[in-house]
Structures are given as C-alpha cells and as structure tokens.
Structure 1
Amino acid sequence: FSFQWQQAMKTALALLNGDEDAAILEDAGDTDFDLTAVDSAKTADFNNAVIQLLSDAGVTNEWKNHTDVEPFLYAAA
C-alpha cells in the first residue's frame, strides 16, 4: 500500500482524535474545516475497507521497498 496513503490516514485520525494540532489545517488552506463533522470511527472503518480491498486484489503492503521513501530510511538510520 502507499506510504502516502498510510501517512495521510495516520494524520487524519490523529486530527480527529485530537492528538494532532488542528493548526496544520491552516497550512493546507482548510482552516474552516469542521473536524466535528467527521466521525473518526467511520474514517478508520473506511481505511480498513480500502486496505482489505487492496489485499483481496493482491496488492501487497510493500511500501518500504519503494525508492520514494529512501530519504526517510536514510534519515532514520
């Protein structure tokens, strides 16, 4: 699965659960976005459904092998 997808979902769920500062929405131009209008459980369920559909279609979770994350791997080393 996509590294970007996983990171986006991680941030979205952190925002919805209050673990991430909502000020990051300002940087994206979404200052007026109403976080209370989104159900974090439904968002998590959606994420799980997408992952299951991808798995069922034979897509593997091998984002760690993609060259676009090499800078992150070197930074973490």
Structure 2
Amino acid sequence: MQKKVVLINNSGEKDVRALAESLKASGFAFETIELSKGEPLPRSLEDLSGLLILGGPITVYDQDTAPFLKVYFNA
C-alpha cells in the first residue's frame, strides 16, 4: 500500500506544486485540501503517513473574514 500524505492549504495563495512533486518523487501519494474553498477535512487520520498544514496570511483571530477556519475549532 502506498504511503499517503494530506496537504491542508489554508490559503489559496500557497502554491503546493513543488511540495507535491517532492512527495511524489519520494514515493508518497498525496491529497490537497483547500479549506478556503470549503473542502472538508479527512474523517480519519488512521491511514495517513503524514499531515501537512500550510499557513497563510490569516490568523486564528480572522474567523469573521475567513469563516472556513471554524472547521478547526469544530474538529
């Protein structure tokens, strides 16, 4: 079974192509989740080899302007 890593991108401003290519070259499958587009978090981390959460210009205090952040507080 191939190892899988999930990349959570909190901001559409981050280009994850180089990171994804590096993971692929190292033998990992990967999935990118764009929280700012409303994509859901994984239901379970059990089958994952890794989880990368990428930051951005937003902070925890920006929930009014970035409501998708609330998913972290409800997880």
Fold match (TM-score > 0.5): no
* Structure showing the higher strand proportion among its residues: 2
Query: TM class, shorter-chain normalised?
Result: under 0.3
State TM-score, norm by structure 2.
0.26
Higher helix content, 1 or 2: 1
